Amino acid sequence: MSNQTTRVVARLIALPDKVEELKTVLLELIEPTRQEVGAIKYELLQNQSDPIDFTFVEEWTSNEALDTHLNSPHLQAAVAKLEGLVAAAPDIRRYYLLA
């Protein structure tokens, strides 16, 4: 399985009065992350029926590339801004594509 890419679904729930602030922080991650070595796909979604619900859909060449992203300065800076904007810690899950 080592030749498979790593898929990630990362969900963040904004505090109801902080939706726009959280959206700004998350959007700032898009371009620098897409430039990272190993980034195949990095998309941010907002739930149409529940706008406090944000989800990143990601694909990385490897777990190592993802780990590098998780430790990148731009991601760490964004994480530092989350306090007071989110209802709970981000739910980050790694997957392999089966079919």
Residue 46: CA count within 13 A, CB half-sphere: 10
pLDDT value at 12 more than 60: yes
pLDDT digits (tens, 9 = 90+) for 33-82: 999 999 999 999 999 999 999 999 999 999 999 999 999 999 999 999 99
- Tell me the average pLDDT across 2-14: 92
Query: Is CATH 3.30.70.100 the classification given to domain 6-95?
Result: yes
Residue 99 banded pLDDT, cuts 50, 70, 90: confident
Can you tell me which residue has the tokens 């980034």?
A: 39
pLDDT score for 29:
97
Name every residue whose Cβ is closer than 8 Å to that of residue 37 and which is 6 or more positions away in sequence: 65, 68
Long-range contacts of 27-34 (CB under 8 A, 24+ apart): 28/74, 28/78, 29/74, 29/75, 29/78, 32/72, 32/74, 33/69, 33/72, 33/74, 33/75
pLDDT value at 1 more than 70: no
Q: What's this model's pTM, rounded to 2 decimal places? A: 0.93
CA-angle at 31, arms to 37 and 18, nearest 5°: 130
Q: Virtual CA dihedral for 76, 72, 34, 17, nearest 10 degrees?
A: 0
